Structure 1
Amino acid sequence: MARLILFNKPHGVLSQFTDRGSPTKRATLSDYIAIPGVYPAGRLDRDSEGLLLLTDDGRLQARIADPRFKSPKTYWVQVEGIPEEEALERLRRGVMLKDGPTRPAQAERMESPDIWLRNPPVRFRKNVPDCWISVTLREGRNRQVRRMTAAVGHPTLRLVRWRIGDWTLADIAPGEWREISL
């Protein structure tokens, strides 16, 4: 039977079990998960937080991570400024990035989520408001959400992946994980 681990990756942790090539020790998955034979199904940037799925089943790993299967991924994004409807509509239609146009995304403003505080905290600027938006993608390019929000004039301050397919971070604290039955 395949194993599936839901992990709430903290800010500053690499989405891999080892850190090769860095002169300083950076936090990795091995600092949190001591289960042999599981591997991440996809990636999450070091400066992003949230849901990372790990499995010991290669087929399941490919199904979760491969954009051909169009598994929706929902991100809660704290952005600089307050996006107008026009900016959200651009995200919904897809935006042009240096590596080509993105697929259309679901995007909407949301209330500040009731989640953990980030360590280190997001910078606060008294004269620049911020806002939370929910963005759901069915593709996964390198730093895509950050590049998309910047392209519509609202740089990302904090990025939390909340959902992948049917799996969410509900009741999983940063640095904690849960194994679920398939």
Structure 2
Amino acid sequence: MTTNYKVDYESPIGVIEIAGTHEAIYSILFSEKTEGVNVFHAETPPVLVECYNQLDEYFKGYRHEFTFPYQLEGTSFQKTVWNALNKIPYSKTWTYKEIALSIENEKAVRAVGSANGKNKLSIVIPCHRVIGSNGTLTGYAGGLWRKEWLLQHEKSYKKVE
């Protein structure tokens, strides 16, 4: 039997609940909690500690990519979309159509949007970097205000090219 663990990260835009096992993280989602309640314990697996620390580095502007192990839970199409999201460079945006084209399924724009909305690894699988074809911010499970904040945050910490 696999034991699941949770820890809360208090980000500048709300509490983020990190969930995982000894092997990998399977969920990083914004919570409606006003403060973190899931804290570190002696049994907290190192992978949760690493995820917490990497999220902290991201919010401080030091980290642009994540390296801890995570597990994608979804259909094969959803996993294909989520893997494509990982190709969007830090501080850049792609449209739903660009994602559909990148997975060689240009007619799947709506399905890409649906898969995007089911992403359980917020920030790490950067669904916040996907925008509408007219350049507007559309749909974000954590709220459009968070999506806007994340995009502005990344723009302010992007590497000079």
**Shared fold by TM > 0.5?**
no
- Which structure has the bigger radius of gyration? 1
Higher percent of residues as helix: 2
